[in-house]
Amino acid sequence: MAGFLREVRDTFLDDPRFSVGLKPVERLGGPNDETLEILSDAARTESQDALAALLNGTSPAFPATPGMEACYAARANSLVIRAGGRVGKCTVALTDPANTIGRLRPDGTLRIDNGRLSPWLRGWTSRDRSAVTCPYAGTPRQSPLLQIGSGRPE
């Protein structure tokens, strides 16, 4: 991980358009949860601090306290670029058409549909903490989300 982060730092972090968010592996309810080796809170903080130091001392974009952070999908500057050029917000809702908010054009510019983007950002204006923690949870679904680990729709 250290070598990878040095390469990311040297390649991207001189450009203010890029930042790195360090997010620990978590148990999210899947069938392999018990086999995952999860860091303790103290080890997580120590690890994130050490990795952040490799990134020229920048602080992690995600707090070390689980459940207290904004979901990346609620952040206006966090986008998922799909292989075909579709732009989305959430890596959990990849199959839901409501997750597609725009397109990456061949010339490298983005076309974002603000009407499709706004539900993902609504928690900031409404001050609804749950919508900031998981904006997909309250978004009208165009297809059911399979609950992680259950194999059935939510």
Q: Mean pLDDT, consecutive 10-residue segments, the chain of 154 residues?
A: 83 80 74 85 84 67 53 90 92 87 93 94 89 84 52 45
Q: 9, 2 in Cβ contact below 8 A?
A: no
pLDDT value for 25: 78
Q: What is the pLDDT of residue 150?
A: 45
**Diameter of the chain measured on Cα atoms:** 45
Contact residues for 132 (Cβ-Cβ < 8 A; gap 6+): 70, 71, 74, 123, 124
The beta strands (E) that lie in the chain are given as: 80-81, 86-88, 100-104, 110-112
pLDDT digits (tens, 9 = 90+) for 42-56: 888 888 888 888 776
Neighbours of 121 (CB within 10 A): 18
Question: For the segment 5-28, what is each residue's pLDDT rounded down to a tens digit?
Answer: 888 888 888 887 777 777 777 777
- Residue 56 and residue 8: Cα distance in Å, rounded? 11
Cβ atoms 80, 90 nearer than 8 A: yes
Amino acid 62: pLDDT: 45
